[in-house]
Structure 1
């Protein structure tokens, strides 16, 4: 990748906490990428995520679609979202970033933040919307905004549609890989790290497809049951940060230290929490043959090399967790209506086609799925640039 369009560091004058914004690319003058809040967040991390967003946008380019990919960007704040002063930091960050959000950065929830919280802070910071930069690209702004607002009101079995579409995409990635390998869903064992927005929805969709969720990790530890955890009970007992109330555990459920999920005897491992989770040291404990990156950048490059050498397949984040971002734009631009049925059907169809394309290319080229995904992006970016221009 070439140099980013823009990179900046902000310091909160009240707390001294730092925040970052990296705009990797502008396409049609606009970029897209969420805002995360976590202790230890760095500019390099945000830059990597922004590059990933450029890829996610390009991967979902459909010349026949109304949704036309944007550029990639990302925001990050080095702060514990549970800290009493975190909301004030968020408001001041958004107030400082207001000129960029109004002009060319569309953003939303990411690790540590919910969309409701981001929207509330954005309103306090004087913003019309965190995606207002895209409004000039819409044919009918009022209708498009109403469609997205309606979609955000939809709930499915107690969970908002906006929380579910990402997990639907991750689950479909898993199912597509299993189908290509001829592995039945029944009897396939899964461990999920993180039961927040992405991990929780992924666990639900995989359990409903017939897979067995035998381990779930949150900030307090790892919950296990070889016969399968009660996913719906765990989801209902989460706090806003994805931490499970242990009082709902059944007698045959067990709790162990937080990193136990890595070494659990499973077929599929889904890291769905923080970045840089799997490194060269702990990768040796992994017994799963398939790792599906629901989180952003959870597997370090050197660890992925070691995993590939022993036959472990890693499905990369830029493909696997791209459905949430795409769903916003499919809905806003009008490729789908504001219903769960349309959202899930379009997500499943698009993700299955994308994962199939990636895995077929990896097999043909004798390379990894990540390298294959990068190849698809390299093919599509010039096509997008030729059609719409490319601003840096």
Structure 2
């Protein structure tokens, strides 16, 4: 996929107070900068972060459009091995950012990911002495002040109670689902969806799919799975979430049912959307899946051996590197000025771009006789040399 499997930078940090560990992997630099969020979860490993960083290289390359103001960056990722709900979590986050300050200041732009909200990252970054978690990209901007104001204005936009920054990724995931359905000529109103996760990505995805006419019949969170064969009241569930995407069960209707946490896997639905954690679908539990499509809203939710087994059973896996790339791209389209701080403009741009990518990937998979993931990798392999020819492999 890339010119080398070895990242440019790979390091592990140990917190001197709690002993918690954090990781940073920079897979690639373009114009001296790499992009990738910071996640916090119990059990986060260096290998996990390396895989995510490589995925970010792919996401950036897939959104390369000659002539656009946004020039894709390199790929990177950060991770902290700590439960974000733990009492010591915020202090660990601040100290991690203090330790990573030289990297963030000069070549790693980061932001929210699993376990962390952008608001919390911004607060901790300020406490760690950083101007911004994305300050490394500022030297690449034509007008830094206008760009920063435009992004801040975009984050202030809300649509029906949910911020545009939260909606961007889910809009892209939903469009990936809709594009796949359109290619299969499947009516939206006959399509049922089960999601794992109702946080930033899962919640927005559920909203957009419901508003497109699909029926969300199951949602899993930290307390278990909530299901209704006739369709859940997605807006009520979104309004009843806490900061970690857990739904207050008091908001459930009389005919909603509570099931075990892993029940979402075997829900009678055509589309399965893992939107919470990595590695949640393995070679064993994949046998429970009867959906026609598994759409990776989370990063790396399907293990490679599980994907091979799903593919052999005729189940299509739409890969994370394409499906959930909308959030990252929206940041940079806005900052560099390809779009403004307007919900209709932003969501329209995301839909068009994601539709183009999904159609290109699926057409390539069909032509090559490969999986969508292999097709996405092939598209990246085509684009990276073009980017390198213009901007170099490392600088």
Return the offset for 1:27: 0.5
Q: Match for residue 195 of structure 1?
A: 198
Choose which of 200, 205, 210 in structure 2 pairs with 1:207: 210
Partner deviation per Cα, 1:133-186 (whole Å, 9 max, x = no partner): 000000111100100010010011111100000000000000000000000000
Residue 187 (structure 1) shift: 1.6
Give the gaps of 5 or more residues in structure 1.
none
1:180 aligns with 2:183: yes
Q: Does 1:292 align with 2:290?
A: no
2:161 pairs, out of 158, 162, 167, with 158
Structure 1 residue 225, shift from structure 2 partner: 0.1
Q: Deviations over 1:32-70 (max 9, x none)?
A: 000000000000000000000000000000002100000
Of 75, 80, 95 in structure 2, the residue corresponding to residue 77 of structure 1 is 80
Task: Please give the alpha-carbon distance, in whole angstroms, between the structure 1 residues aligned to 2:44 and 2:122.
Answer: 21
1:386 CA drift (Å): 0.5
Aligned to 2:339: 336
Tell me whether 1:226 sits opposite 2:232 in the alignment.
no
Question: What is the aligned counterpart of 2:113 among 110, 114, 118?
Answer: 110
d(CA) in 2 for partners of 1:32 and 1:249? 39
Report the Cα distance in structure 2 between the residues aligned to 1:301 and 1:64, rounded to whole angstroms: 35
CA distance in 2, matches of 1:343, 1:117: 24
In the other structure, the counterpart of 1:382 is 385
* Equivalent position SS for 1:259: helix
Aligned to 1:304: 307
Q: Name the count of aligned residue pairs.
A: 392
Report how far residue 389 of structure 1 moved: 1.3
Question: Quick check: 1:247 aligned with 2:250?
Answer: yes
Secondary structure at the aligned position of 1:255 is classed as strand
List runs of 5+ in structure 2 lacking aligned partners: none
Name the stretch that deviates more: 1-10 or 123-132.
Answer: 1-10
Q: In the alignment, does 2:266 pair up with 1:263?
A: yes
* Pairs within 5 Å for 1:124-163: 124-163=127-166
Identify the match of residue 7 of structure 1 among 7, 10, 13: 10
Alignment of 1:318-357 (within 5 A): 318-357=321-360
Aligned-residue CA RMSD in angstroms? 0.5
| Matching residue within 344, 349, 361 for 2:364 | 361
Give 1:16 shift.
Answer: 0.4
3-state SS in 2 of match to 1:215? strand
Runs ≥4 residues deviating over 3 A: none
Question: What secondary structure does 2:100 align onto?
Answer: helix
CA distance in 2, matches of 1:349, 1:330: 13
State the match for 1:36 in structure 2: 39
Distance 2:222 2:290 in 1: 22
Q: State how far apart, in whole Å, the 2-side matches of 1:175 and 1:187 are.
A: 12
